[in-house]
């Protein structure tokens, strides 16, 4: 009898998970849509939906268009059921954003980071201050926040507590979850920033509908998220996707990781600026920070052959790196994201051309290469989906 009850509970949670996931990603939908798309029976869908409405998780969203007869009612996730916080811990700033359950942005705040001062305690303090700030701005009580997702540069070692290895920040086995958790009772979910960008684009952006894709993050540093058969590939210890530290030129330019010739040493924002400075024979690049310096380079390329050559070389290097991704993973799509990729978006045709020269013909012809659709907020948005993904997997039961 106990086994039967446990089995029934398990089946019901699976059904809840299937329906909630479908509504979250594709809603609003009718009950009949849910029957067709999940394979569940009409009675099963009706019973679970009734429970979800009673719990305040799902709400009716008006009548669907009808060709005659009684119109069906559309269903969607209840936007105010809960709230989530997404955090992007980059190399130049910490961005904290608050979303409702429909992933509508409610509040946002940024804290600039001095590259010379990226101490873990300082970053944790910014995250905690940001959580207080955005919930305060939106008038959201902490008890209504489902969780906090954090996308961070570097390798995130998952375990009882997430530990971060980020050489670019000078971090070695930093217990980031413990540091942030000391200042909040909210559930924390930490992952690599490229992986959170990839999840956001898979759910809401350029990756929708793809089963095999690679999402490349090009900012101060460079990384990637590899999605195979709809799931993020993590490797033995979750460090898969360190695309920026694959070798582009053996014995080439020095990389911040300590190796030479890494892709990041050619196409990361810091490296692009360094190459432009060298091309200018050591003269400083105009601008107060990396973003303004990249903007100055793009603007100068309109009239300067030197700047144009740096951008052309950057497109070639980036195209070669994309070709490696195509040859290794045979994706349907390669999506370029991150603030530097967006700032250099006009290089996309040249990147495609360079990738075509370097990649094997058949896998290249099967792959599209495009810019991300969610812009510079993709890392924080993807981070905010981490607590939601856990919630959906567990059938909409708060732990």
Mean pLDDT value across residues 375-384: 94
Say if residue 192's pLDDT is above 80. yes
Once rounded to an integer, what is the mean pLDDT over residues 351-379?
96
Q: DSSP letters along 56-82, please?
A: TSEEEEEEPP-SSSSPPEEEEE-TTS-
Report the percentage of the chain scoring pLDDT > 70. Answer: 97
Confidence band for 6, pLDDT divided at 50, 70 and 90 = low
Q: Of the spans 1-10, 38-47, 157-166, 351-360, which averages the highest pLDDT?
A: 351-360
Q: What is the pTM of this model?
A: 0.90
Strand order in the sheet with 333-337: 231-232, 222-228, 213-218, 333-337, 368-371
Which whole number is the average pLDDT over 46-56? 92
pLDDT band, residue 322 (cuts 50/70/90):
very high
Find out whether 315 and 297 touch, Cβ atoms under 8 Å: no
Q: Look at residue 212 in the predicted model and tell me its pLDDT.
A: 97
> Residue 109 corresponds to which tokens in the numbers above?
């705040």
- Say if residues 218 and 265 touch (Cβ distance below 8 Å): no
Given a contact cutoff of 8 angstroms between Cβ atoms, the answer to whether 253 and 266 are in contact is yes
**What does the pLDDT read at residue 398?**
79
**Domains of the chain, first to last:** 8-77 (1.10.10.10), 83-197+383-394 (3.30.420.40), 206-373 (3.30.420.40)
Tens-place pLDDT, residues 193-228: 999 999 999 999 999 999 999 999 999 999 999 999
pLDDT band at 397 (very low <50, low <70, confident <90, very high): confident
For residue 4, the model assigns a pLDDT of: 52
Element (H, E) at 321: helix 305-329
The pLDDT of residue 68: 59
Above 70 in pLDDT, residue 2?
no
User: Average pLDDT for residues 298-317, to the nearest whole number?
Assistant: 96
Distance, in Å, from the CA atom of 198 to the CA atom of 240, rounded to the nearest integer, reads: 13
pLDDT band per the 50, 70, 90 thresholds, residue 66? low
121-177 pLDDT, tens digit each = 999 999 999 999 999 999 999 999 999 999 998 899 888 899 999 887 889 999 999
> How many helices and strands, by DSSP H and E, does the chain display?
14, 16
pLDDT at site 117:
80
Confidence of residue 14 (pLDDT cuts 50, 70, 90): very high
Residue with tokens 């699976």: 14
When pLDDT is cut at 50, 70 and 90, the band that residue 16 belongs to is very high
Mean pLDDT of the chain: 92
Confidence of residue 5 (pLDDT cuts 50, 70, 90): low
pLDDT at 92: 86
Residue closest to 191 by CA, chosen among 220, 213, 215, 208? 215
């Amino acid at each position: 009898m106990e086994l039967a009850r446990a089995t029934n509970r398990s089946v019901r949670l699976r059904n809840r998970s299937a329906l909630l996931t479908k509504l979250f990603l594709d809603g609003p939908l009718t009950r009949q849509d849910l029957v067709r798309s999940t394979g569940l029976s009409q009675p099963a869908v009706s019973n679970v939906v009734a429970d979800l409405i009673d719990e305040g998780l799902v709400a009716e969203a008006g009548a669907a268009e009808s060709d005659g007869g009684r119109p069906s009612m559309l269903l969607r996730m209840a936007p105010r059921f809960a709230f989530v916080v997404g955090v992007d811990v980059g190399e130049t700033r910490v961005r904290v954003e608050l979303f409702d359950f429909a992933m509508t942005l409610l509040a946002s705040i940024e804290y600039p980071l001095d590259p010379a001062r990226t101490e873990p305690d300082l970053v944790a303090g910014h995250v905690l201050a940001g959580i207080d700030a955005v919930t305060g701005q939106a008038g959201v009580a902490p008890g209504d926040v489902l969780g906090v997702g954090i996308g961070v540069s570097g390798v995130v070692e998952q375990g009882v507590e997430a530990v971060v290895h980020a050489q670019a920040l000078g971090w070695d086995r930093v217990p980031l979850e413990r540091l942030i958790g000391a200042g909040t009772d909210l559930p924390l979910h930490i992952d690599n920033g490229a992986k959170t960008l990839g999840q956001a684009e898979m759910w809401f952006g350029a990756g929708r509908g793809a089963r095999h894709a690679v999402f490349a993050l090009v900012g101060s540093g460079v990384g990637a998220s590899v999605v195979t058969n709809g799931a993020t590939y993590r490797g033995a210890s979750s460090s898969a996707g360190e695309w920026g530290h694959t070798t582009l030129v053996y014995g080439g330019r020095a990389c911040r990781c300590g190796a030479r010739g890494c892709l990041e040493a050619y196409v990361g924002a810091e490296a692009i600026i360094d190459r432009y400075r060298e091309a200018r024979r050591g003269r400083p690049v105009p601008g107060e920070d990396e973003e303004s310096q990249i903007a100055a380079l793009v603007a100068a390329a309109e009239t300067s052959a030197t700047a144009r050559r740096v951008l052309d070389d950057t497109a070639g290097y980036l195209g070669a790196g994309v070709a490696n991704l195509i040859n290794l993973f045979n994706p349907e799509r390669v999506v370029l994201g991150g603030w530097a990729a967006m700032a250099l978006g006009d290089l996309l045709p040249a990147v495609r051309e360079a990738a075509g020269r370097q990649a094997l013909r058949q896998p290249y012809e099967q792959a599209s290469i495009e810019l991300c659709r969610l812009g510079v907020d993709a890392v924080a948005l993807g981070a905010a989906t981490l607590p939601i993904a856990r919630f959906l997997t567990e059938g909409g039961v708060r732990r």
